[in-house]
């Protein structure tokens, strides 16, 4: 994303002085939207926002906050968190305002409109249920907002700033007054040298939404990788060992490998990783994961996180600098935040991105071939949880529908597997000379950040620049939803299905035998150890009757069986683990390196030496 420098010093001074004035009136700049946020005078956990209107010719105009934003594929309704909305003319007189719906305010007498003001509540305080579960209305934490006066602010701007109807393409000039001890972290450039106020300029509303800003006491690590500045900012209020300097070496190693993998395709000038460590409390963020932006990522982790968790998430998000940044449809370029028409190509935006996040690791020597194949085998198993006969183009276009959004996570599983098959098809047809990364490079050359494609043209375009078999695959499996025989394509690069040893994912459940009992009435999780078959239990020294109260620093939620069981999910072999238990009335801490149990599972192995050259071209070329 290009960073634009549209504010001259004079205009900047006007904007800052206007922000500090209690009667902020329209600046003599009809072709820009001026915004001020006050992070200093926070009352009742709410931030005051003032938006100075551009020139308006109509008698009435709507002011809206987004119903949905790109990358989330779920209804957010940010307008739910707005209070005390008022509109004023240049003399400070209130104008008539009516609320049309959750996200829309209609202002009468708009030709006299000088500004609107309102208060913003944050979203972290009110999360309930999973963001992508049917029937829930929780905003996914990485797309949410946080207001901790004097301590931390997560400004996903979609939750703080709206737009006037018909004015989304105007530049936005945002001034943020903040406590002097807090520093902003963002991919944007601060144009104000003052220590207690920042100023940012973007070309249009979509660019504002695309650039989150985090304020906190500085915990930042930076470096230059090639021609790209990389920034990692961390907010970890309780566990100070989770900090930027500790996490950055692994992040830098990974991003350096990604840059090498992408080569000239990646032209990002600055990339910011904004990392929030949640306490897991009921009034704190609970949606673990990340949200991509063109030049940054917002990431939410538990206090048990490690650098491996960070690089696992960012390895995916960084590849969004390829798609949808450089290769995207008209629906994304001209995104309608309130009445969206969604693209049919999530199979590419998310599926290719997830595939690249795995493939680059084996390509750059960060993962062995067997580990890569194991990842693909795991994705195949997980994909079967979803509707394997669903058209991905239909799912993409209707993903925000209640009945469809539960299928969305399959873009990271089946989407990545179909990308793998396409990669193999192209390698096979080109004698190993070309893969989907090169194809995406060619697409990014033809299109780019400011030139979208028409949704209906993409598959014919890809077919024309590759091979007829690619088009046949896309039509059959992506459009029509015919299940894929992945073994058929892997066989072309010498890989056969085989039996492999795979670790159990739930360390306190082996097969049908549970090693815990969850009492949701008393809200207790108790260890049940009647044998010595569980390697994890043995390694940590868990005894029968231990009440498990904390897992890697996180209190165990015994209000539901699922919550308690999932707290123990996904432990890695050898990972240092700490557990607090109550034994005979005394709280003690158990710690050690995890040992897992292994079971026979279906996986893949390279076996056909005659395919060595093509396999190497696929994984190393």
Nearest to 374 by CA among 278, 497, 456: 497
DSSP type of residue 577 = E
Q: Is residue 561 part of a domain?
A: yes
- Cα distance between residue 107 and residue 118, in whole Å: 14
Nearest to 361 by CA among 395, 403, 316, 299: 316
Same domain, 231 and 202: no
Nearest to 313 by CA among 349, 277, 273: 273
Q: Is residue 273 part of a domain?
A: yes
Write out the residue range of the structural domain in which residue 376 sits.
Answer: 322-498+607-621
Q: What is the CATH number of the domain that holds 583?
A: 2.30.42.10
Predicted local distance difference test score (pLDDT) of residue 410: 95
Provide DSSP, 30-69. TT-EEEEEEEEEEETTEEEEEEE-----SSEEEEE--S--
Express each pLDDT in 78-88 by its tens digit.
999 999 999 99
- Cis peptide bond upstream of 324, omega within 30: yes
- Cα distance between residue 348 and residue 177, in whole Å: 40
Predicted local distance difference test score (pLDDT) of residue 558: 80
Same domain, 525 and 410: no
Same domain, 283 and 432: no
- The C-alpha R_g of the chain, in whole angstroms, comes to 26
Predicted local distance difference test score (pLDDT) of residue 16: 29
Predicted local distance difference test score (pLDDT) of residue 136: 64
Answer whether 116's CB lies under 8 Å from 107's CB: yes
Last residue of a domain, one of 198, 215, 232: 215
pLDDT block averages, 10 residues each, the chain of length 621: 30 31 41 96 97 96 96 90 97 97 97 97 84 69 97 98 96 98 97 95 96 98 95 95 96 95 91 94 88 93 88 90 91 90 93 96 95 94 94 93 86 97 98 96 92 95 97 98 97 95 85 89 92 94 94 79 75 88 94 91 94 97 84
Same domain, 178 and 46: yes
Same domain, 54 and 140: yes
Specify the pairing of strand 113-121 against strand 82-89: antiparallel
Q: Is residue 3 part of a domain?
A: no
E strand or H helix that includes residue 85? strand 82-89
Same domain, 241 and 201: no
Q: What is the CATH number of the domain that holds 106?
A: 2.60.40.3650
Q: Is residue 344 part of a domain?
A: yes
Last residue of a domain, one of 215, 235, 267: 215
Q: Is residue 311 part of a domain?
A: no
Predicted local distance difference test score (pLDDT) of residue 281: 82
Q: Which residues contact 16 (CB under 8 A, 6 or more apart)?
A: 175, 192, 194, 197, 199
- Cα distance between residue 361 and residue 312, in whole Å: 10
How many domains, in total, are found in the chain? 4
Q: Which residues contact 86 (CB under 8 A, 6 or more apart)?
A: 94, 97, 116, 117, 118
Same domain, 401 and 418: yes
Q: Is residue 315 part of a domain?
A: no
Same domain, 435 and 482: yes
- Cα distance between residue 148 and residue 216, in whole Å: 9
The alpha carbon of residue 418 and the mean position of all alpha carbons in its chain are separated, in whole angstroms, by 21
Q: Which residues pair with 438 in a beta bridge?
A: none
Same domain, 210 and 230: no
Q: Is residue 23 part of a domain?
A: yes
Same domain, 464 and 514: no
> Residue holding tokens 């599972």?
601
Same domain, 184 and 203: yes
Provide DSSP, 295-332. SEEEEEE-TT--HHHHHHHHHHHGGGGTTTTTS-BHHH
Q: What is the CATH number of the domain that holds 263?
A: 3.30.2010.30
Same domain, 480 and 615: yes
Q: What is the CATH number of the domain that holds 448?
A: 1.10.390.10
Q: Is residue 539 part of a domain?
A: yes
Last residue of a domain, one of 306, 333, 349: 306
Give CA angle at 56 (65, 117), nearest 5°: 45
């Amino acid at each position: 994303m290009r960073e634009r420098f549209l504010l001259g010093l004079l205009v900047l001074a006007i904007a800052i002085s206007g922000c500090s004035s209690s009667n902020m009136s329209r600046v003599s700049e009809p072709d820009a939207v001026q915004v001020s946020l006050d992070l200093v005078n926070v009352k009742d956990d709410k931030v005051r926002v003032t938006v100075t209107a551009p020139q308006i010719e109509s008698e009435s105009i709507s002011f809206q906050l987004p119903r949905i934003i790109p990358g989330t594929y779920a209804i957010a309704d940010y307008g739910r968190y707005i209070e005390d909305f008022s509109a004023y003319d240049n003399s400070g007189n209130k104008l008539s305002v009516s609320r049309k719906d959750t996200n829309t305010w209609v202002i009468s007498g708009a030709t006299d409109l000088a500004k609107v003001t309102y208060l913003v509540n944050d979203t972290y305080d009110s999360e309930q249920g999973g963001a992508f579960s049917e029937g829930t209305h929780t905003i996914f934490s990485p797309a949410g907002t946080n207001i901790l006066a004097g301590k931390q602010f997560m400004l996903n701007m979609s939750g703080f700033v709206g737009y006037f109807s018909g004015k989304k393409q105007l530049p936005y000039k945002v001034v943020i007054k903040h406590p002097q001890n807090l520093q902003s972290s963002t991919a944007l450039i601060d144009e104000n040298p003052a220590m207690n106020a920042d100023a940012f300029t973007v070309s249009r509303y979509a660019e504002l939404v695309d650039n989150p800003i985090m304020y906190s006491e500085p915990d930042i690590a930076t470096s230059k990788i090639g021609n790209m500045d990389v920034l990692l900012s961390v907010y970890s209020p309780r566990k100070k060992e989770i900090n930027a300097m500790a996490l950055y070496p692994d992040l830098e190693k990974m991003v350096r490998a990604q840059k090498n993998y992408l080569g000239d395709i990646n032209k990002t000038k600055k990339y910011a990783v904004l990392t929030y460590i949640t306490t897991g409390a009921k009034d704190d963020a609970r949606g673990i994961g990340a949200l991509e932006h063109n030049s940054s990522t917002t990431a939410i982790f538990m206090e048990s996180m490690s650098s491996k968790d960070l690089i696992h998430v960012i390895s995916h998000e960084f590849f969004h600098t390829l798609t949808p940044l450089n290769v995207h449809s008209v629906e994304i370029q001209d995104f309608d935040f309130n009445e969206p028409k969604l693209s049919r190509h999530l199979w590419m935006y998310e599926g290719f991105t997830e595939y690249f996040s795995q493939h680059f690791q084996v390509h750059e020597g960060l993962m062995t071939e067997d580990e890569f194949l194991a990842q693909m085998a795991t994705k195949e198993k997980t994909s079967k949880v979803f509707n394997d006969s669903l058209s991905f183009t239909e799912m993409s276009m209707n993903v925000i529908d209640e009945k469809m959004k539960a299928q969305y996570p399959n873009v990271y599983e089946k989407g990545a597997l179909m990308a793998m098959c396409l990669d193999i098809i192209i390698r096979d047809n080109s004698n190993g000379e070309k893969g989907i990364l090169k194809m995406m490079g060619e697409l990014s050359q033809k299109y780019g950040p400011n030139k979208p494609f028409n949704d209906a043209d993409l598959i014919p375009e890809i077919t024309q620049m590759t091979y007829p078999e690619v088009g046949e695959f896309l039509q059959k499996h992506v459009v029509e939803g015919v299940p894929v025989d992945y073994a058929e394509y892997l066989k072309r690069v010498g890989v056969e299905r085989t039996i492999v040893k795979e670790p159990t994912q739930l360390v306190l459940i082996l097969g049908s035998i549970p090693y815990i009992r969850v009492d949701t009435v008393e809200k207790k999780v108790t260890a049940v150890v009647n044998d010595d078959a569980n390697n994890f239990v043995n390694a940590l020294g868990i005894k029968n009757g231990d009440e498990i109260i904390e897992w890697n620093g996180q209190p165990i939620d015994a209000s539901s069986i699922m919550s308690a069981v999932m707290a123990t999910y996904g432990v890695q072999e050898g990972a240092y683990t700490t557990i607090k238990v109550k034994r005979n009335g005394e709280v003690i801490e158990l710690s050690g390196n995890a040992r897992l149990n292994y079971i026979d599972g279906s996986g893949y192995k390279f076996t056909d030496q005659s395919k060595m050259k093509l396999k190497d071209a696929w994984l190393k070329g």
